[in-house]
Amino acid sequence: MHNVFVVGQNAITSLGFTLAEHIDKIKNNISGVKRIDDKVLFPESFYASLIDNVLLHQHFASIGNPDSYTKFEQLLILSAHLALKDSTVNAASHKTIFIISTTKGNINLLDTRQSNSFSADRVYLWKAAQQIARFFGNNNTPIVISNACISGVVAINFANDLLNSGAYDNAVVIGGDIATEFVVSGFQSFKSMSFGICKPFDAHRDGLNLGEGAGTILLSTQAADCDAKQSIKVLGGASSNDANHISGPSRTGDGLYFAVTKAMKQASITAQDVDFISAHGTATPFNDDMEAKAFHRAGLCDVPINSLKGYFGHTLGGAGIIESVISIQGMKENLLFNTMGYEEFGVEEPVTIVDHLTEKEQNYILKTASGFGGCNAAVIFAK
Amino acid sequence: MLITRSVHITHQRITCDNQTVFETSDVNIFTEFIKAGFKSLNATYPKFYKMDSLSKLAFVASEFLLRDQDIAQRYAPESIGLVFQNAASSIDIDKDHQLTIQDRANYFPSPALFVYTLPNIMMGEICIRNKFFGENALFITEKFDAELLYNHITVMLAKHKMDACIAGWTNVEQEQYESFLLLIEPETMVSNSKEFRTFDAANILKLYTI
């Protein structure tokens, strides 16, 4: 079985276009979540993390024609480009596969009030993925994973399985979603959005912030080029279903517990080995309780846990990748990042929430995600 | 590994291991057809009527696939995985949701509708019905990709991420609908194993194109 290494990363959110900008702002407790008064997105004001469209357009114009690609495609292409340019991965090689994680892709093209020049089939995720892979001259059929909010973690696990088997040498795993009236109105109809910056695991948490963004993680079995000391491996992961409710998390945390324990088994490690957990932590009342119960049951109560949602919101199909990328950087720098928005402990089991920037050596970290449809996923990264 | 059952739903007909188990020429629209197909199972499951078209199609296919199989008794619930493919995501319900927001004079987004704008909900519905806690993966592909399905499931089985699998293709776009699901189980768990086809890409394609 081939080992799979992380050989490149990028994140794009309201915090910036590079991973370095994200780390700098997170270290300084700067959130990109703001009050949004944009009647196109929603009739009333709400809190979300949005990317500056002018900046995105400018950045993209330096690598491609902005008129030929939708905002969603531009975002994912730019993220992959920025990750690839500092790596030795040949994006056009037949040994490189593109894996795209998204919930809604180009869903804004359904809006018939706005005319656009894109062909109608761009609304299909497989078509949008082709645009992205072809931009880099890659002729393999790109693979799209669309598993709600766990898509990013499922995509990393799928890429790891694929590379383990030797089918490809490299995977360009890109995840993202844009903020649209479609999604904002849906989450508002669920009354699940916070009235301020979200407060994961806090006693006064009142809901989530939506975020738009993209993340890229380059995986490769060809690790000769990486600095051995800095190389991070994907050890293994798993997914599960709560078998409970399509739009609410399990009250018991059974599903997430299964995903986490199976991921540890895949990675051949135990709960004692886990140095840090990057949780999903959306800051909805039920979700955070469910996660605390699952981590408690898995014997992970004493392991530091954070949620990054307070910095750039819930980036949906991007979340699993963006949050992995940032947590991997924390692992490299031996830092645990603060849980923005968290003040007072407020979940049903005594888990350990990271409440300030902390130095800690980390050899094994766990990333989890949970989503609509009762799905959960977990992945373990190792130094 | 063996393919112990296959179900194919398209063109107003449901086949199970290539035998027609439900067919109608009375109704020619999808919503009526799938309701009639569900009723033919004599199952009591009111949640079915709340589902969107994609979930209804996947659900009815899974009910025929798992009928009299007691698979939840034979495998640990966390070891039964679902690997699905689909081309149009949840496009029909996406358009319905878009209609509820596009006209500001008539603005009424609904959570009951919005939740189905995620195509993986169809797998959630099947897991809830059968109490399956295992792997969930949904690939969006232009067309059914037997090779991708086979390769991925093979790796997942080799890594012991699952022991049994419900896998296939379920796609709806207006009146174009098709579900093709397989039940995949290890030889050791099947008493009359000689009766079944080996799980490989060629056999998947054969069953799909029959």
A105 CB neighbours in chain B (<8 A) are: 89
pLDDT value at position A345?
Answer: 98
- B2-89+119-209: what fold? Peroxisomal Thiolase; Chain A, domain 1 (3.40.47)
Contact B118 A146 (CB under 8 A): yes
The pair of structure tokens assigned to A285 is: 């009342």
**CB within 8 Å of chain B, chain A residues 222-251:** 236, 238-247
As for how many domains chain A has, the answer is: 2
The pair of structure tokens assigned to A255 is: 């599903």
Span B36-45, pLDDT tens digits: 999 999 999 9
**Quick check: A297 contacting B, CB < 8 Å?**
no
What DSSP state is assigned to residue B11? T
pLDDT value at position A225?
Answer: 55
How many angstroms separate the CA atoms of B3 and B20, rounded? 18
pLDDT value at position B28?
Answer: 82
What does pLDDT average to over chain B?
96
**A132 and A163 co-located in one domain:** yes
Contact A246 B115 (CB under 8 A): yes
Q: How would you class A246 by CB atoms within 10 Å of its CB: exposed for 0-12, middle for 13-18, buried for 19 or more?
A: buried
The pair of structure tokens assigned to A281 is: 């932590």
**A238 and A193 co-located in one domain:** no
Domain final residue, candidates A179, A198, A225? A225
Contact A146 B94 (CB under 8 A): no
Domain that holds residue A363: 233-382
Tell me what the mean pLDDT of segment B134-162 comes to.
97
Going by C-alpha positions, the residue among B147, B148, B186, B178 that lies closest to residue B54 is B178
Contact A147 B138 (CB under 8 A): yes
State the CATH number of the domain containing residue A152. Answer: 3.40.47.10
Contact A241 B142 (CB under 8 A): no
Give residue B176's region: left, alpha or beta (phi > 0; psi -120 to 50). beta
3 state DSSP class of B52: coil
Contact B118 A188 (CB under 8 A): no
Q: Is the dihedral of CA A78, A80, A82, A84 positive or negative?
A: negative
Contact A247 B130 (CB under 8 A): no
**A150 and A58 co-located in one domain:** yes
User: Which of B94, B133, B135 shows the shortest C-beta gap to A107?
Assistant: B94
User: How many contacts does A have with B, using Cβ atoms within 8 A?
Assistant: 163
Span B94-110, pLDDT tens digits: 999 999 999 888 899 99
A371 CB neighbours in chain B (<8 A) are: 118, 120
Domain final residue, candidates A225, A252, A287? A225
**A42 and A147 co-located in one domain:** yes
Q: Which amino acid belongs to residue B137?
A: A
Q: Answer yes or no: are the C-beta atoms of B7 and B15 closer than 8 Å.
A: yes
Is the pLDDT at B13 greater than 90? The verdict is: yes
A210-211 and A143-145: which strand pairing? unpaired
**A65 and A169 co-located in one domain:** yes
Best interface-test mutation with B: which of A100, A111, A189, A245 has the largest number of B CBs within 10 A? A189
**A349 and A365 co-located in one domain:** yes
Contact A190 B91 (CB under 8 A): no
Closest chain B residue to the Cα of A237, Cα to Cα:
B161
Residues of chain A with pLDDT under 50: none
Span A265-318, pLDDT tens digits: 999 999 999 999 999 999 999 999 999 999 999 999 999 999 999 999 999 999
**A69 and A144 co-located in one domain:** yes
How is the beta sheet containing A210-211 ordered, strand by strand?
A34-36, A46-49, A210-211
A186 CB neighbours in chain B (<8 A) are: 97, 109, 111, 114, 117
Q: Answer yes or no: are the C-beta atoms of B205 and B144 closer than 8 Å.
A: no
Best interface-test mutation with B: which of A375, A379, A380 has the largest number of B CBs within 10 A? A375
Tell me what the mean pLDDT of segment B61-74 comes to.
94
A255: CB partners within 8 A, 6+ apart? A240, A241, A242, A243, A244, A294, A370, A374, A375, A376, B133
**A220 and A238 co-located in one domain:** no
The pair of structure tokens assigned to B44 is: 């009591």
User: Which of B88, B97, B156 shows the shortest C-beta gap to A124?
Assistant: B88
ipTM: 0.97
Domain boundaries, chain B: 2-89+119-209
Is the pLDDT at B78 greater than 80? The verdict is: yes
How many angstroms separate the CA atoms of A72 and B19, rounded? 44
Distance from CA of A21 to the nearest CA of B (A): 32
CA distance readout (Å), A363 to A328, A333, B188 = 10, 11, 39
Q: How would you class A180 by CB atoms within 10 Å of its CB: exposed for 0-12, middle for 13-18, buried for 19 or more?
A: buried
How many angstroms separate the CA atoms of B6 and B19, rounded? 10
Is the pLDDT at B176 greater than 80? The verdict is: yes
A148 CB neighbours in chain B (<8 A) are: 118, 120-121
Contact B132 A241 (CB under 8 A): yes
Is the pLDDT at B46 greater than 60? The verdict is: yes
Contact A189 B95 (CB under 8 A): no
Domain final residue, candidates A205, A225, A245? A225
